[in-house]
Amino acid sequence: MKLKKTQKSGFAIIEAILGITIGGMITLFFLSTLKQAVKINHSNIDDWQAILYLHEGDEIARDLEISNWTAISTCANPCHPSVSGSVWTIQSGKEFLDRKFERSFKIEPVLRNAGGKITLSGGTIDPLMKKITTSVSWLKNSATTTESVELYIYKP
């Protein structure tokens, strides 16, 4: 009877090396994906924070419409909201928030044509209305990003 010799020596080492290589590649892919997800999440947090500051500025403008029309009428552009006691006021310049965001108001007169409709040029100034543009700027991916919202308010 003849015995058949099989050679299996060395295959266990090759299988172990192959398994470690595949496991390392999967781990590298997972860590790379995780790093990108964290980067995107931080970017989204800044975007949401900027939108919240933008809407807060819009709400402050609406409050100024009711409580402090004089402050709106005397703003030198650009200006920003500030609190004096328990009343919103306006100061000249831009406002820095969280050492990352810059918020400002641009207050402009509203022009009306002969028919009483709002126009961009060639009309007469409506003393009871103002256009307030609230802007928030921040640095995103090495470039400045700015979001703005316009609001028309009138003297009550």
Q: Quote the pLDDT of residue 10.
A: 67
Given a cut of 80, whether residue 104 has pLDDT beyond it is yes
Q: What number is the average pLDDT over the span 81-86?
A: 86
Residue 14 predicted with pLDDT over 90: no
pLDDT tens for each residue of 61-74: 999 888 888 888 77
Higher pLDDT, 5 or 33: 33
> How far is Cα 29 from Cα 46, in angstroms, rounded to an integer?
26
Residues 6+ apart with CB under 8 A from 93: 78, 79, 80, 104
Percent of the chain with pLDDT over 90: 35
pLDDT of residue 141: 82
> 76 falls in which pLDDT band (50, 70, 90)?
confident
Q: Place 18 in a pLDDT band, splitting at 50, 70 and 90.
A: confident
What is the distance between the alpha carbons of residues 32 and 39, in angstroms, rounded to a whole number? 11
Who's near 83: CB < 8 A, 6+ residues apart? Answer: 89
The confidence band for 2, taking pLDDT boundaries of 50, 70 and 90, is low
Q: How confident is the model at residue 103 (pLDDT cuts 50, 70, 90)?
A: very high
Tell me the whole-structure pTM to 2 decimals. 0.70
Please report which helix (H) or strand (E) contains residue 97, including its range.
Answer: strand 95-97
